[in-house]
Chains A and B, each alone.
Chain A
């Protein structure tokens, strides 16, 4: 059982937008700004896509955006492209130098 709750799947057609949610508690997502998102293609290592709720590392397309409302963080992928099909994981600092991940969401581009 993962500490953060994500929907197991999400989907959208090319060009559309899709939003993936990540629900935690006031002890993790709701309590700290240290929320991040990772993209993982099959057989590959995860890639950092969003950090500090909304920031993008260099090289990550601006089609990827993050937000937070209360204890729920969200990742939005706009202008869906075929290469966006992957698993996405949220992560949050949970206090006392502990890090927790979500269970992952499989994004399918229809």
Chain B
């Protein structure tokens, strides 16, 4: 059974860089699929951030592209996200998820989500 688990610092200061990791169990990320990040500000809707494949094939939300680094570590079966220049508008629950990629960009397995608050 595919399971994803995010970990994060919880609190980030304005202008700093957010670093998140997502442990994947029950499936080897080097076996296929893209793996992505989606966020949800409190009380608001979902926003896709970026997705990547172990081959390096990567997609970005155009509005966030300049601030995002997304990586896969196949040795640890982990997905990571770095989001720079954080502001209060980046306060959200961040989810990692498996992305069907070119087959439709559907997200079928999700982590439970981790709340990231941007505050000094």
Interface residues, chain A, CB within 8 Å of chain B? 2, 33-34, 36, 38, 44-48, 51-52, 57, 89, 91, 93, 96-104
Minimum distance in angstroms from B100 CB to a CB of chain A: 8
Q: How far is the CB of B2 from chain A (nearest CB, A)?
A: 12
Q: List 28 A-B contacts (CB under 8 A).
A: A2-B45, A34-B104, A36-B104, A45-B111, A45-B112, A45-B113, A46-B46, A46-B95, A46-B107, A46-B110, A47-B110, A48-B106, A48-B107, A48-B108, A51-B104, A57-B108, A89-B45, A89-B46, A91-B105, A91-B106, A96-B62, A98-B62, A99-B59, A99-B61, A99-B105, A101-B46, A101-B48, A103-B44
Q: Note all chain B residues with C-beta closer than 8 A to A52.
A: 104
Interface 1/0 per residue, B21-60 and A, CB below 8 Å:
0000000000000000010000011111001000000010
Query: How many residue pairs at the A-B interface have CB separations less than 8 Å?
Result: 60
Contact in complex: B105, A34 (CB < 8 Å): yes
| A93 pairs with B108, CB closer than 8 A | no
How many Å from the CB of B104 to the closest CB on chain A? 4
Write the residues of chain B forming the contact surface with A, with a CB cutoff of 8 angstroms.
Answer: 38, 44-48, 51, 59, 61-62, 95, 97, 100, 104-108, 110-113
Q: How far is the CB of A35 from chain B (nearest CB, A)?
A: 9
Determine the distance from Cα of A36 to Cα of B38 in the docked complex, in whole angstroms: 15
In the complex, chain A residues whose CB is within 8 Å of the CB of B97:
45
Residue with the greatest number of chain B CB neighbours at <10 A, chosen from A33, A57, A98, A102: A98
Q: Which residues of B contact A46 (CB under 8 A)?
A: 38, 46, 95, 107, 110
Chain A's nearest CB lies how many Å from the CB of B21?
A: 17
| Docked CA distance A104–B42 (Å) | 13
CA A91 to CA B112, docked complex, whole Å: 19
| B113 surroundings in chain A (CB, below 8 A) | 45
Instruction: Report how far A100 CA is from B63 CA in the complex, Å.
Output: 11
Looking at the assembled complex, report how far the CB atom of A32 sits from the nearest CB atom of chain B, in whole angstroms.
9
Contacts of A33 in B (CB 8 A): 104
**Contact (Cβ within 8 A) A97 B59:** yes
